[in-house]
Amino acid sequence: MDFYTNIERRIDKDVRKMDTQLVWARDPTEGYIQCRITEIGAKDFEVTPVDRKFAKRTCHIDDIFSSCEGPQDHDDNCELMLLNEATFLDNLKVRYYKDKIYTYVANILIAVNPYREINDLYSSVTIKQYNGRSLGELPPHVFAIADKAIRDMRVLKCSQSIIVSGESGAGKTESTKYLLKYLCHSHDSAGPIEQKILDANPILEAFGNAKTTRNNNSSRFGKFIEVHYDAKCQVVGGYISHYLLEKSRICTQSSEERNYHVFYMLLAGAPQQLRDKLGLGKPDDYRYLSGCTQYFANAKTEQLIPTAQKSKDYQQKGALRDPIIDDYNHFQNLDKALSRLGLSDVNKLEIYSLVAAVLHLGNISFEEIPDDARGGCQVSEASEDSLTITCRLLGVDPTELRQALVSRVMQSKGGGFKGTVIMVPLKIYEASNARDALAKAIYSRLFDRIVALINQSIPFKASNFYIGVLDIAGFEYFTVNSFEQFCINYCNEKLQKFFNDNILKNEQELYKREGLNVPEISFTDNQDIIDLIESKSNGIYTLLDEESKLPKPSASHFTTEVHKAWCNHFRLGLPRSSRLKAHRILRDEEGFLVRHFAGGVCYNTEQFIEKNNDALHASLEGLVQECENPLLKTLFPSGSTSPRGKLNFISVGSKFKTQLAELMEKLEKNGTNFIRCIKPNSKMVDKEFEGGLALAQLKCSGTISVLELMEHGYPSRVPFGDLYNMYKSYLPPELVKLPARTFCEAMLHSLNLSSKDFKFGITKVFFRPGKFVEFDRILRSDPENLLAIVTKVKKWLIRSRWVKTILGAACAIRLKNRIKYRNKCILVMQRMVRGHLARKHHRPRYQGIAKINKIRLNAQKTIEIATGLKNGREVIINEVNDIYRQIEDAIKSIKENEKITSREIDSLHTVVMANMNKVTVDLNSKLKEQQQAEEQERLRKIQEALEAERRAREEEERKKQEEEENKRLKAEMEARRKAEELKRLKQEEEDRRAALALQAQLEKEAQDDAKYRQQLEQERRDHELALRLANESNGQVEDSPPVIRNGQSDVTSMVPNKLIRSENVRAQQQALGKQKYDLSKWKYSELRDAINTSCDIELLEACRQEFHRRLKVYHAWKAKNRKRTTMDENERAPKSVMEAATKAPPLIQPKHEITTAQHRYFRIPFMRANAPENTKRGLWYAHFDGQWIARQMELHADKPPILLIAGIDDMQMCELSLEETGLTRKRGAEILEIEFNREWEKNGGKPYKNLGSQIL
């Protein structure tokens, strides 16, 4: 056999073929790197990176994707030739280094934080460019999303929401700022209302933003900013809702983080007169600024900050640098913004006084009273100055404040109408907590007041619709995570659920209802996490509130109750199950691990109860309610005190849940637009892209799933009725009568849209990604546009009706000609059949007459020769005449007797021929002496003619026997096919009965497998998240315990290919387990080498099975990752053969001995998928040596033949076994060996050498 020679040449050829395939392989740091496949393993592919700095690696097939040739740069990721997460990431990276930070996924904007200013990206000129332009008409931009929201609001008569999401430091705050800038500047220069809406940003950032380890301008609260419009789409006002200000930051920060910006702005930028009035010094002087004490400043403003205001760290390390933040300048901007809101200098001083009072309040410390037996405390002497300044700024009596800080008032149940008032002294830590609680209360209520002032300055009365921009803290995870992170991450879970429902779940349900036949995309539903947190019966929030109402609440008891209530829930775990070593030192009752959609976060519950209850005790609240500071008195009105007692308090968690529910209700009612912000690196520097970090964010945000959905999806749609009603008043009478759907079809065709760009559902018309320009053009409601489109529809209807008429006439003429042609063909066929039957019936008679007539020629020659005789001439002539009479009699008897047989005809011929021979003998003897030489020559020619006739007769007999033998072989083949078909049907019936018995079990296993896959993906995210956190905190990552499956520990939890995917795979794995040889570690080239050289029959067959199994896996991967815009250019077998393998999964075949392997040959019609319509069908030939293909041939009329041989062309040949192809079940497909070899050799193929003969 050919593939058993020239081994090295073929192996090198296979490797070269694989080398041409560029792929993306998973990398933990870069996300994906470009490689080439160099080896096909049993379960993985070995790849060699193109960049030599990366080492060769082995990757699972699910972590390898096809790569486009050359760098990609597309505005919309749906335009990528190969749609997968690797090409998506590469497109983002390429564009990021070109300062193209925005891309689309359908109508979702992806924004990558550049960490620097890009020239003219947000200028007023750019705003004008995007005004009124459709999505996709200009490069992606945050302005394009804002403009789309305005147009959707105007056309669809519905309020819109823009959800800006992403991790901390991804650029959400800046994106929100530019969205508002566009909404207020898009149609004209900003008026008074618009300017006040814009002024809200610097004010909110000053009081609500702070520097963290991941973001220099991190929003420590959430906000939903509504811009309200009237019927003419003019801005008439706004409203700001805020959520969950991080109060703990007011009192404590980590070493690299800062308190809220306003404290540093006041210290760095306030005039000296104001600083003296407020008693302000440098950041080092205040306990509440114990974290980072450096200012943000540039080279110019650094000189303007007085040296006395600079901290020790600032003088040693210098200023913090950021392209956006500058504490000195921002104070000036803040002061001007407050003035534009309508605040007087007195009002601003009141605000600054409370901010300064919080700083001074933090400097009040406490010490024990030596002689106090009750364990009380007092304000330390060193804090007297701070106490005095605080009281002056707050407008309270120093003695009363001192008393309220070191003691609290309690009221007993008995002793009069209102009970007896008892003064209870506080310990040092209790007094410190009371001080911090007062500081948090003052600052948080000041923040509420500022937001209320902003809302008062931008009122709206005649609002028809609004556009809301949501900016809320992104998913957070730190080494120490407390109640604030828990609430923030809960909010992000709700937003992710909203995204999943609106973009993935509801979208796919709509496609099903409208009958669009879009493939279903699987995604991880995080409803179980939300239930874990907010369930009314035993959710974490509910358990926390119940614990807070106990007489002596305990964090350890609360944590124990949480673990007890959710002990078997996958999403909740013990701290020791964390992958970060720092979390594993926590005891079980000190925290819990929640596996969020973005990764596992370990929460320390020590302060959960305190932070969930932010109420002041009665002494402090009564004190501030009676103060002389008018602003502070407004913040704590005396008549608003809620009923006291643990059973009546409203927790922070409950308030946040209520606010979040109201927000989600708003979002559900509005049209929604999404902006996904991506953090390119963890160092917050420009021109650096960490692929692994970006990929994790894309996957966690669900954007990868959206990309898969949009490969076949339709993100834009409009109901037929709405579109028709928009144009109805402009339609002429002949078009008004059209049904809505017919009108829509005519309109879209009149606009020259391709049928691939849109699709009609049951009630709506849908548009593919990237067709927003066309979609907006038909929805533009101005009269000129509507009339222009109506004119096009009329022209298209007239043209289409005329074309249909012409085509109908042409079809009728073509049908008439076809009928005539078929009648003519039928007559010709009848004539040919009748002639064939007549010739078949009379062939023996006229062939016999022809043979006898040939004797007449010999007789004539005999007479001619006899004329030359001198003696005996008359005798010879008489004998010849007698021969003539015998010939005539024989011909007459043949003609008259229609039933004469071939044997009788041969006997007549034999008699006449014998007599003729006798005459010839007599003639020879008489001419022997006279004309010896001449006569001998003539006799030889006669003898040759007779011999040729005999040979012809023998050849005819041989052909007749060969035809009969071929008929017999084909009859045997058909009988064998029918027997195999009966056997197959019987086997299928047995399999069906067995499948019904196993169906319930397999469904349960499939559900378990799907759940287990989600758990594995969650484990992978947890690991990546732990690695990122470890890199930031110099911690260590350890492997967590393996995932529990079906009640047992699974040691292969991190190997996705270990999952049992189906009954067929399970059976194959069992069969492989029973094999004599373990080939799982053999390389692809080693398998081919063994096939080419081994004489071990069992090893040879095992190698062939494993070789073809790997080919199936490789081709399945290529089919999954093929280009979207191309057809199957390299079809390895006809479509019917490949479909047979997918529709009827093969059973495990018994092992065939090579020595007894049967050679079978097949031929079926074949047309390539990308062939033109009028192309004639070709033929596909296959030669199977046992169960596997040995030779393959394609013959097309207009193309050269394609001949493939196993061992040389494996990558282009059919990889299926004979049973999988279904060829044995196709009637008439099997042919004889001689027929295959005839075509094979005719087209230049070399003869096939039998494998069995070589081995034997």
Q: Quick: pLDDT tens for 915-929.
A: 888 888 887 877 776
DSSP 979: H
User: What was the pLDDT predicted at 126?
Assistant: 92
Reduced DSSP (H G I as helix, E B as strand, rest coil) percent helix, strand, coil of the chain, to 5: 55, 15, 30
Decide the pairing of beta strands 1178-1185 and 1159-1166. antiparallel
What CA–CA distance (Å, rounded) separates 263 from 327? Answer: 9
Position 1250 scores a pLDDT of 56
Residue spans of the chain under pLDDT 70: 1-20, 186-190, 411-420, 639-649, 752-753, 769-783, 785-786, 929-936, 1032-1076, 1084, 1122-1131, 1140-1157, 1169-1174, 1250-1256
Question: At what angle are helices 772-779 and 720-728 packed, to 10 degrees?
Answer: 50
Name beta bridge partners: 1199: 1196
- Helix (H, G, I), strand (E, B), or coil: what is residue 112? strand
- What is the helix (H) or strand (E) element at residue 1191, kind and residue range? strand 1188-1196
DSSP 853-866: HHHHHHHHHHHHHH
Task: Tell which residue, 911, 908, 906, 921, has the closest CA to residue 862.
Answer: 921
Q: What is the 3-state secondary structure (H, E, C) of 1104-1135?
A: HHHHHHHHHHHHHHHHHCCCCCCCCCCCCCCH
> Three-state SS for 676?
strand
The full length of the chain comes to: 1256
Burial bucket for residue 1077 (CB in 10 Å: 0-12, 13-18, 19+): middle
Rounded Cα distance between 525 and 520, Å, is: 14
Q: pTM of the prediction?
A: 0.72
266: buried, middle or exposed (CB in 10 Å: 19+, 13-18, 0-12)? buried
* The predicted structure's pLDDT at residue 1123: 62
- Confidence (pLDDT) at 160: 94
Structure tokens at 475: 């998913």
Q: What are phi and psi of 1243, to 5 degrees?
A: -100, 20
- The rounded distance, in Å, linking the Cα atoms of 330 and 860 is 132
Q: Which amino acid, 740?
A: A
What is the distance of C-alpha 903 from the center of its chain? 80
Backbone torsions φ then ψ of 48, nearest 5 degrees: -115, 115
d(CA 880, CA 856): 9
d(CA 216, CA 230): 37
Radius of gyration of the chain (CA): 46
